[in-house]
Amino acid sequence: MGVLSTKTQCNLNNAEKYFKEHLQLGDYYSQENIVSGEWAGIGATQLGLTGRVRQDQFLKLCHNQNPQSGVLLTQRLKTTRWDTDKMAEVANRRIFYDFTFSPPKSVSIQALIADDKRLLESHSRAVRIAINELQHFAGTRVHQAGKISERLTGNVVCATFRHDTSRALDPHLHTHCVMFNATFDASEQRWKALSNYEMLQARKFAENVYYHEFARDLRQFGYEIENKPRGDFEIKGVSRELQSRFSKRHNEIDASIEKVLKEKPELAKGNLKELRSQIAQAERSRKIAGIALPELQRLWDSQLTGKERQSLRALARQSKAALQSPSVTAQAAIQWAEAHLFDRRSVVRENEVWSAALERGRGAELTTEDIKAAGQEREYIRNEHAPSKITTREILSCEWEIVCLARDGRGKFTELNPRHKIATGLMPDQRAAAELILGSRFASRLK
């Protein structure tokens, strides 16, 4: 399953180690194959960072220094704080955020085992476009008159590193997008700490931008895609059995989660995504030294049957002629997104509409700008204090009608059931809800 995951790095020593032992080397050691990172983001360009990522540049940013001059970049100097729970000094300054883009497993198999190199460049292209969209939501905190608010800055300093394996040495195409804790505030004309709150809210949108751009390329290459209910997609022709076989790390974590939930079933009510992340970090295996890509490819090939090997290669050979794209217009995609989202909520974030529209039109000859333009035509109603949130005139009218109905009908009718009796065994909040409904005297009661 493809996903956009996020990890925050707060420890300076760990940040330096992460660069030298992970970002530059991937998930297996091979000094002959150092991963060359690439700079991305408007903020990187403002700092004069283009092309390949140099170690000295990366480490200076970790130390909150301008990579060109070495002077302090943002004003915040405090790097530790006292944790009253742990009764110790702990890291306080966020050094960077690692946003990691991964395609569906079938794409990794076709790119790395079937050796379709077109998919590698397509992945990198889709990541660059998604980063550009995600950085629009970059912001910083504003302290004014004793109040704290947030202001969008729309720029990040990002270093990208493309890797091709998992810790279990399975094919796993993914790109780490390291966004440093710095953004340029044009209003104050200075570099400040990056607030990633709105970026995290827009994470699903960025993921769907990535998926959409990748799917467009896959169709141009002649691959058929199949959208999944969970929101991602797979390449048709790559079997589920193969996807599972080359998802050992994923399967190991699933087994660990199942074991933990059997021992502590109460955890099932909590954040399972966070539990998965904790288990993944705790059970992370050590890297294996000295493995080069040709050896990995022989390892992967040894896990295929002759029929599977032939099928994957045939799929790559046949995927030469472009397939016809789905005939979905931006306007139709936006209208579908509205119906899908506003059916459950009266107010949503605008990027949620864009995200759902891109998912609806995945692989069609649409761009994110087309989707945004179609949304502009809808003339949404906004709250000046939360401009990213929208509703429609139809929904506003409907809700006002409900409010008026409730207001005008208050106390005009007898109770819904004057002789009601509440069953025993209900929780206090359930009992209160039943009392409210059965004792209702509003005009909207059932007749």
pLDDT in tens, 23-34: 887 665 455 567
Residues paired with 132 in a beta bridge: none
* Residue that is written with structure tokens 């141009």 in the block: 220
64 and 187 within one domain: yes
In a domain, 206, yes or no: no
Strands, E assignment, 401-441: none
- Given CA atoms 20, 26, 28, 32 in this order, what sign does their dihedral have? negative
When mean pLDDT is compared over 178-182, 305-309, 318-322, the highest value belongs to 178-182
Return the structure tokens found at 364. 């069609």
Look up tokens 């505030």; give the residue. Answer: 185
The count of domains in the chain is 3
- Which uninterrupted H or E stretch holds 173? strand 171-180
Please indicate, yes or no, whether residues 284 and 340 belong to a single structural domain of this protein: no
Same domain, 308 and 335: no
Q: What is the pLDDT of residues 258-273, one digit of tens each?
A: 666 666 677 666 765 5
Are the beta carbons of 225 and 215 closer than 8 angstroms? Answer: yes
Residues forming beta bridges with residue 162, ordered by sequence position: 175
> Residue 223 pLDDT > 90, yes or no?
yes
- Residue 365 and residue 313 share a domain: no
pLDDT tens digits, one per residue of 50-66: 999 999 999 999 999 99
Q: Does residue 85 lie in a domain region? A: yes
pLDDT level of residue 424 (50, 70, 90 thresholds): confident
Residues 100 and 247 in one domain: yes
Does residue 106 sit in the same domain as residue 245?
A: yes
Task: Please state, rounded to an integer, the average pLDDT across all residues of the chain.
Answer: 85
Check residue 1 and give its pLDDT. 45
Look up the domain containing 445 and give its range: 410-447
Residue 221 lies in a domain: no
Give the gyration radius of the chain's Cα atoms. Answer: 26
223 is a catalytic site residue: no
| Domain-embedded: residue 400 | no
Same domain, 151 and 273: yes
What predicted TM-score, i.e. pTM, was given to this entire model? 0.82
The DSSP symbol for 391 reads E
Region for 62 from its dihedrals, namely left if φ exceeds 0, alpha if ψ lies in -120 to 50, beta otherwise:
alpha
CA distance 433 to 442: 15
Domain contains 11: yes
Using CA atoms of 286, 291, 292, 294 in order, give the dihedral in degrees to the nearest 10.
-120
8 Å CB contact between 185 and 139? no
| 84, part of any domain | yes
276 and 417 share one domain: no
Q: Are residues 80 and 184 in the same domain?
A: yes
C-alpha closest to that of 236 among 225, 246, 245, 247: 225
28 is catalytic: yes
Q: Which of 126-135, 142-151, 295-304, 403-412 has the lowest mean pLDDT?
A: 403-412
Task: Give the pLDDT confidence of 407-416 residue by residue, as tens digits.
Answer: 776 666 666 6
Q: Is residue 442 part of a domain?
A: yes
Helix 330-342 and helix 350-360, axial crossing angle in degrees, nearest 10: 120
pLDDT at position 169, please?
84
Q: Kindly report which listed range (40-44, 151-155, 326-330, 376-380) carries the lowest average pLDDT score.
A: 326-330
- 318, 353, 372 - which closes a domain: 318
The catalytic residue among 28, 97, 210, 211 is: 28
